[in-house]
Structure 1
Amino acid sequence: MSAFWCETAIIAGHDTGDGAPVRPEVASGVRVETIEGRISALHSGVQPQPGDTTLMGVAFPAAANAHSHAFHRILRGRTHDGRGDFWVWREQMYRSASELTPDKYQKLATAVFAEMVVTGFSSVAEFHYVHHQPDGAPYSEPHAMELALARAAVSAGIRLTLLDTLYLTGGIGTSLSPEQARFGDPDAQAWLDRLASLRAAIAREFPSERVGVGAALHSVRAVPEEALKIVAKQLPRDIPLHVHLSEQPAENQACMEAYGTTPTGLLGRHDLLSSKLSAVHSTHLTQDDISLLGGSSTTVVMCPSTEADLADGIGPARELSDAGATIALGTDQHAVIDPWIEMRTLEHGERLGSGQRGRFSPWELLRAVTEGAARSMATPIAASTLQVGAVCDLMVIDPSSTRTAGSQPLQLAFSATASDVTQVVIAGEVTAQHGVHTRLGLPGNLLAEALKEFS
């Protein structure tokens, strides 16, 4: 057993008995006892005991990143010197994808995951589609790229859900382009077979609490309806499924023309809407789409900083939540990696779109970046407060920095940034302190070195 003493911590409040989620409360002098990386006991209003690790500041549950493309980190600060839209940015992204090798990707992803850890993330869902060599031929080790990502996550100490992605077409009714060849598989059955082989390979090498495998459909642009039918019938029921959904109006228009329905409607047609599904972006939805996603208890993963950076638009997060969907947060192309900025950018987008404040409470934002996001993963589900039985994944915020001084602890989502994260604990182990990874050092140095290998 090990123990942490928190100066201040966010713990579960009292159950009101009305069936509503238990709201958090702020407690002082909280002693967190752990066994095998999970919280075994909590005591508040106490003093530290000899041997306790002291965490000064406000201890929150660590964040979960529900949507990441690790290699997109290459593009940060390099795509802003001209006009254009998502589709222009995509061409630059393809050039970066073409330069990846398993060794280069492991080095880059280790740095990106280390950046996530020091900013407060303890888990990540990696939406992975760069499977093969640039010409589309498999590597001699068929899971070389996937294993590189898993090894990177283990090196960085972050929990990984590796979302192996089905990517068959370059658009509805069009073949993969040469730039997309390494993303594809011959057909849906070949992907399902490769997914099964990958699950076995990951299970042999990594503990399930640290690395798990999920599945993803890139989008309805990249997965034809006939393939959706096969996936709906044969995908294992015990793994999460993610999909990029209605990120751009052009996707909706192409889907309507080809299938007579929206992307959400197409997924619903094949019974793919469920609590196991995470729909990423969901920026351009109809009212029927919102009802379908909410009624099926689908998780909707918003990536507010990316959606702003790519000019995607502001998604209907409040309406989706009210309809019954779970809201989660991700960093997608890593315009920034900062759970605190993602939280308030979600709320700020709502305010800009509605002309109203307080669309999401700070507590709801915290849920979105903890248990909401972790709900979509294959690794253990996080809680939105410190509580017995949860994994001991914590991020500690300095409440007296230039940014946070005077903030109420439960409103730090509107003042804190990753620069205020002083310590990060994952599975009961201090993994980062003041922006430095305890095993890997400064992520900036790792990133600078990794990025030298890309044009």
Structure 2
Amino acid sequence: MKIWVDRLVRSGVLERGVLFEADDRGTVVAESTSDGCPPDVLALDAAAPGFANAHSHAFHRALRGRTHESGSFWTWRELMYRAAGRLTPDGYRTFATAVFSEMVAAGWTTVGEFHYVHHAPDGTAYADHAMEIALADAAAAAGIRLVLLDTVYLAGGIGRRLAPEQVRFGDANAAAWLDRWHALRDALADRSPLVTLGAALHSVRAVPRDALGAVAAGLPASVPLHIHLSEQPAENDDCVAAHGLTPTGLLEAEGVLSPRLSVVHATHLTDDDIRLLGAAKVTAVFCPTTEADLGDGIGPAVELRAAGAHLAVGSDQNAVVDPLLELRGLEAGERLRSLRRGRIEPSTLWRIGSDAGYASLGLPAPARMGGPLDLVELDDRSIRTAGGELEQLPLTATASDVVRVVVGGRLVVHDEHAIAEDLRRSIDTLFEEAR
């Protein structure tokens, strides 16, 4: 498989006439430059390495356009639980295929799916990892690279049992989750070259203190580990009251902080939290459209980066599926927080959206030797982008400017009208089951 790119923006730097060659698994095995496109090779005009959605809950897509209300994250969460309670393996396979297809059409070439809807609503385990296999099948059908972040969810809050609506998320204890994780890894082996297995701790609310370190120690060192962190002030208050430590301080005390850890949201941090996260070289995954939608607040991205942390972005609840709007939202949030412009350079935004997101998911950088041949072609002459510099597209373009998407060296083509119909049908079915 060979692909030629006339204008390639890689790490924010414009390169001309780049010819890639990939092997059968979609890994870049050769790269050169050419003044023109060789015959019988797919040619892209203006392109960039693929975007990594480092944090997604696919089923939250069902809530889009149905949850506008006054309230908070906590009131929104009750509606989310209702949607989670209605998922079945077969229904989720169909729905997630449409959601992942929407992501590819928007320019996401990789997704980290933070997955905790493991079991039947009464907590009974499905045979053969049915929910997880449904997501793997959906990703393969959509043509997106998936890192399935199988998630530990053991408590309904600090010191509280799982509520009835949370029972299907849980396992008996950390050891039981680890057993299931290792069995799932075997079940996914060689299923699709697009699918790999990662892990997640849901939060310090949902994972008891003694389980935090046990899970981290029980996983292979190469496996990426993610966690929701300090999304809400109430989470911080409860953690300090129970443990005398902030959530970040608790992770540090239990030996969880490390370069393989990604902390999602990281919105309400102390100066000491920022110092600890930076020293550990974690990745902070910001989800600006979700954090705005839920009224979560704006996290200290610039301070984290200055302290040594890496940054990535995700779509989280999928109220918006657009990598360029997430990147622009990251910069916009910093401008609103600081009352200053130019907080994150466009070249850095490109790296945050691509290389850093892939790294947070345990993947090599795309469109580089030894990495996956994942590319997004963008229109820099559209009504939104005309007249601007190609290198500054993260500040002007949207998913509407995505022309073509390549995952693993293969062009992924979807009919957006068909995706929309599949989404509508799946969501209507999901909510009809509630009546």
The yes-or-no answer on 1:398 pairing with 2:379 is yes
| Alignment correspondent of 1:3 | 2
Task: Report deviation, 1:264.
Answer: 0.4
Correspondence 1:29 to 2:17:
yes
Q: Which runs of 5+ in 1 are unaligned?
A: 12-22
Q: For residues 34 and 46 of structure 1, do their structure 2 counterparts lie closer, same or farther at Cα, with a shift above 3 Å needed? A: farther
Aligned to 2:223: 239
Letter in 1 for 2:145: R
Deviates more, 1:28-37 or 1:91-100: 28-37
Is the counterpart of residue 381 in structure 1 residue 364 in structure 2?
yes
Return the match for 2:196 from 204, 212, 216: 212
1:448 matched to 2:432? The reply is no
Q: 2:283 aligns with which of 299, 302, 308?
A: 299
2:31 to 35, 39, 42: 42
1:189 maps to which residue? 175
> 1:395 & 1:233 partners in 2: Cα distance?
37
Partner residue in 2 for 1:338 = 322
Query: Counterpart of 1:103?
Result: 90
- 1:376 deviates by 1.6
User: What's the CA shift for 1:29?
Assistant: 3.3
Aligned partners of 1:392, 1:442: CA distance in 2, in Å?
A: 26
Equivalent residues of 1:86, 1:311 under 8 A apart: yes
Whether 1:282 and 2:279 are equivalent positions in the alignment is: no
Tell me which of 41, 58, 63 is aligned to 1:52: 41
Alignment of 1:258 with 2:257, yes or no, is no
Matching residue's letter, 1:339: P
Residues 34, 229 of structure 1: alpha-carbon distance in 2 compared, 3 angstrom cutoff? closer
State the AA in 1 paired with 2:263: A
Deviations 1:227-252 (A, max 9, x none): 22422432332311111000000000
Aligned amino acid, residue 92 of structure 1: L
CA distance in 2, matches of 1:426, 1:412: 21
Gaps in structure 2 of 5+ consecutive residues: none
Tell me how far apart the structure 1 counterparts of residues 430 and 217 of structure 2 sit (CA, whole Å): 40
Structure 1 residue 145, shift from structure 2 partner: 0.5
How much does 1:142 deviate? 4.4
Map residues 425-444 of structure 1 onto 2, 5 A cutoff. 425-432=406-413, 436=415, 442-444=418-420
3-state SS in 1 of match to 2:6: strand
Q: What is the one-letter code of the residue matched to 1:69?
A: H
TM-score of the superposed pair, with normalisation by structure 1: 0.92
Match of 1:157 in 2: 143
Residues in 1 aligned to 2:334 and 2:12: alpha-carbon distance in whole angstroms: 23
Corresponding residue for residue 370 of structure 1: 354
Q: How many residues align?
A: 430
Q: What whole-Å deviation, never above 9, does each CA across 1:153-196 have from its counterpart, x for those lacking one? A: 11111111111111111111111111111011111111111111
Please tell me the root mean square deviation across aligned C-alpha atoms, in Å.
Answer: 1.5
Mapped contact 2:213–2:255 kept (Cα < 8 A): no
1:117 aligns with 2:104: yes
Helix, strand or coil for the counterpart of 1:375?
Answer: helix
Identity level (%): 52
Q: Following the alignment from structure 1 to structure 2, what is the Cα–Cα distance between the partners of residues 27 and 187?
A: 51
Q: Which moved more, 1:367-376 or 1:261-270?
A: 367-376
Q: Distance in 2 between matches of 1:290 and 1:268?
A: 12
The one-character-per-residue Cα deviations of 1:342-374 (angstroms, maximum 9, x if unpaired) are: 000000000000011111111111111111111
Letter paired with 2:300: P
Report the secondary structure of 2:47's partner residue: strand
Query: CA separation in 2, counterparts of 1:27 and 1:277?
Result: 32
Question: What CA distance in whole angstroms lies between the structure 1 residues aligned with 2:291 and 2:245?
Answer: 24
State the shift of 1:317 in Å.
0.4
* 2:130 alignment partner in structure 1: 144
Look up the match of 2:81.
Answer: 94
Aligned twin of 1:67: 55
Q: Deviations over 1:253-286 (max 9, x none)?
A: 0000000000000000011000111111000000
CA distance in 1, matches of 2:371, 2:412: 18
Contact 1:27 1:44 in 2 (8 A): no
Change (3 A) 1:152 1:402: same
SS at match of 1:422: strand
Matched residues in 2 for 1:63 and 1:10: separation?
A: 12
Provide Cα deviations, 1:370-401, integer angstroms capped at 9, x if missing partner.
111111214x3224xx4333321000001111
Bigger mean CA offset, 387-396 vs 68-77? 387-396
CA contact (8 A) 1:279 1:298 kept: yes
Aligned match for 1:418, one of 399, 415, 421? 399
Q: 1:39 to 1:352 in 2, by over 3 A?
A: same
Aligned equivalents of 2:353, 2:314: Cα separation in 1: 8
1:169 to 155, 159, 169: 155
Which runs of structure 1 show a deviation greater than 4 angstroms over 4 or more consecutive aligned residues? Answer: none
Preserved CA contact (<8 Å) 1:232 1:270: no
Q: Is the 8 A contact 2:148 2:198 kept in 1?
A: yes
> Could you tell me how far 1:298 is from its partner in structure 2?
0.6
Distance between the aligned counterparts of 1:54 and 1:238, measured in 2? 35
| Distance in 1 of aligned mates of 2:415 and 2:365 | 23
Letter in 1 for 2:163: S
Which AA in structure 1 matches 2:119?
H
CA contact (8 A) 2:213 2:256 kept: no
Q: Assess, with a 3 A threshold, how the Cα gap between structure 1 residues 100 and 280 changes in structure 2: closer, same or farther.
A: same
Distance, in Å, in 2 between the alignment partners of 1:345 and 1:389 is: 31
- State the AA in 1 paired with 2:17: G
Query: Is the contact made by 2:230 and 2:269 (CA closer than 8 Å) also made in structure 1?
Result: yes
Q: Is the 8 A contact 1:110 1:156 kept in 2?
A: yes
Deviates more, 1:45-54 or 1:297-306: 45-54
